[in-house]
Amino acid sequence: MKIRFWGTRGSIPTPGQRTVRYGGNTACVEVRDSTDHLLVLDAGTGLRELGIKLNGTSPLMVDLLLSHLHWDHIQGIPFFRPVYDPKSTLRLYGPTQHRPLRELLGLGMDDPFFPVDLDGLPVHLEIHEIESGSKRKIGPYEVSATTIFHPAPALAYRIEADGRSIVYATDTEDPFSGQPNPVIELAKNADLLIHDGQFLDSDFKAGWGHSTVATALDVAQRAKVKRLILYHHDPDRSDDALDRIGVEAQHAADAQGQGLEVIVAREGAELTV
């Protein structure tokens, strides 16, 4: 599989001089298997850039997994060019909520918040709800989902194709309440773990639903993953700060002697899994 980061920032877009290298767009990752089937992880503002790169390809079949419905994970939907193409299909998947997913997604685009309603988008739109603990085929991908600890219903996903596995666990806090962290089981022996690394121990805010870099490292080591990507960067984190976090995290991983590689997610970066 190949992946590309279109947005790595958490909470809110952060354009500006301090974030040029790691990027200011919010959560969005492109995944391709050996058949080149497009799977998108989250629809933050990075999704707009992906839509531009697709450059009018039509018809297009896009599968898009939403971890949850916070703004930084859905705001790109109305700015994703393929949604204005009646020949294309967008299949959106997200966690089951207290109200139907279609209704909740539609709220953010309702008048007067946005001029086009979700149901008014020209694309053929399918919306599917995913239960925690489920496993399903999405295109060529086998996708397993687990509920994670966050202030809104949220899922982490394990994606398998071509004999490889990627786990996407953003917006997740270690439960700390004696319960096991569900991401460890989901990520067992994965080739790649994309994990929330919003906080450091020094600025951790309990109950906000995010992990520290130390927690991300701990999960990766317990799950025995090969590569860890620190993701969902705090909006206050500058490029220089992220450089330092990357060096320190790799140093901490090396001290454990498991051969874990740590990468700080950077907008535009491509990886082969």
Residue 102 DSSP class? H
Task: Indicate the residue among 123 and 168 with the shorter CB distance to Zn ion.
Answer: 168
C-alpha to C-alpha distance for 219 and 211, rounded to whole angstroms:
10
Q: Is the peptide bond before 82 cis (omega within 30 degrees of 0)?
A: no
Smallest distance from Zn ion to CB 5, Å: 14
Smallest distance from Zn ion to CB 83, Å: 21
104's enclosing H/E stretch is: helix 101-107
C-alpha to C-alpha distance for 112 and 92, rounded to whole angstroms:
23
Smallest distance from Zn ion to CB 197, Å: 12
Smallest distance from Zn ion to CB 150, Å: 6
Smallest distance from Zn ion to CB 190, Å: 21
Segment lying near Zn ion (by CB under 5 A), choices 10-18, 113-121, 200-208, 254-262: 10-18
Footprint (CB under 5 A) of Zn ion, residues 54-73: 70, 72
Task: Indicate the residue among 81 and 233 with the shorter CB distance to Zn ion.
Answer: 233
- Nearest residue (beta carbon) to Zn ion: 70
Which among 18, 45, 53, 10 is positioned nearest to 270, based on CA atoms?
53
Q: Where are the beta strands (DSSP E) in the chain?
A: 2-7, 28-32, 38-41, 61-65, 89-95, 124-130, 135-138, 141-147, 155-161, 164-169, 192-196, 227-231, 261-264, 270-272
Both tokens of residue 57? Answer: 């390809």
Task: Indicate the residue among 171 and 267 with the shorter CB distance to Zn ion.
Answer: 171
Q: Would you give the binding string for Zn ion spanning residues 70-109, x where CB under 5 A is met?
A: x-x-------------------------------------
10 binds Zn ion (CB under 5 A): yes
Beta-sheet pairing, 2-7 with 270-272: antiparallel
Smallest distance from Zn ion to CB 159, Å: 19
Task: Indicate the residue among 123 and 169 with the shorter CB distance to Zn ion.
Answer: 169
Smallest distance from Zn ion to CB 232, Å: 6
Residue 180 DSSP class? P
Which among 115, 111, 107, 103 is positioned nearest to 79, based on CA atoms?
115
Find tokens 């080591």 and name the residue. Answer: 221
Task: Indicate the residue among 68 and 81 with the shorter CB distance to Zn ion.
Answer: 68
Smallest distance from Zn ion to CB 195, Å: 13
Contacts with Zn ion: how many residues (CB under 5 A)?
4
Which residue among 171, 174, 196, 267 contacts Zn ion (CB under 5 A)?
Answer: 171
Ranges of H-type helices in 156-272: 182-186, 213-223, 239-256
CB 41 within 8 A of CB 149: no
Q: Would you give the binding string for Zn ion spanning residues 213-252, x where CB under 5 A is met?
A: ----------------------------------------
Task: Indicate the residue among 30 and 171 with the shorter CB distance to Zn ion.
Answer: 171
Task: Indicate the residue among 197 and 260 with the shorter CB distance to Zn ion.
Answer: 197
Binding site for Zn ion (CB under 5 A): 10, 70, 72, 171
